[in-house]
Amino acid sequence: MANHLDLEEQEQLDQLKHFWNTWGTLISSVLILVAGSLVAWNGYQYWQNRQASQAAALYDAVDVAARAGDQARMAQAFADLKAKYAGTTQASQAGLALAKTMVEAGNADGAKEALAWVAAQSGDDGLKALAKVRLASVLMDQKNYDDSSSCLEALLWSLKRSLQIARETFICCRISVRKLLRSMPRLISPSRTGWSTVVLWR
């Protein structure tokens, strides 16, 4: 009896070895790939959070300088944000705050430079649009109507394109739903209150 069990165990071990020889490399590779992906994703998230917190600290410096009315400190903090954390939302918000302070102080050229940077470099489409509108306003105040008009036309074109994409998506969805409803079989069945339509899903 012990020999019989030993033979069964040996056969199972042989099957396990055969399985591992056949699929072991693939299984190991997939596990390493998944583990590596998780480590890379967590590292990227950590890096993004670290970038955002450091950018927030610099944005706080811009905010404190704006409340104090210190344009030089604001410009320096904004320059640091542009250099180190250009892709963050805080950099765009700092550029808008700097432009507002400069317009209030009468420095339209400095405001124009900050707004042009936000309009060109911001990763947030909403902040880009806001910067373009404010830039157009500054250009109108400087009686630079051609540049102001072209800035607003570019913004209007972008908004029209977004609206066109949304409209096309809606139309495609509506057509797909209609095709789906037409392809489903319908049965008419009697009910206590009268005839009702029952839709059967495939």
- Could you give phi then psi for residue 191, rounded to 5 degrees? -135, 175
Q: Say which CATH superfamily domain 21-143 falls into.
A: Tetratricopeptide repeat domain (1.25.40.10)
For residue 147, with 0-12 CB atoms within 10 Å meaning exposed, 13-18 middle and 19 or more buried, which class applies? Answer: middle
**Whole-structure pTM value:** 0.57
- Helix segments in the chain, DSSP class H: 2-68, 71-84, 89-105, 108-121, 125-141, 145-183
**What integer pLDDT is reported at residue 202 of this predicted model?**
40
- What is the average pLDDT across 82-110? 82
Specify the higher pLDDT residue, 96 or 145: 96
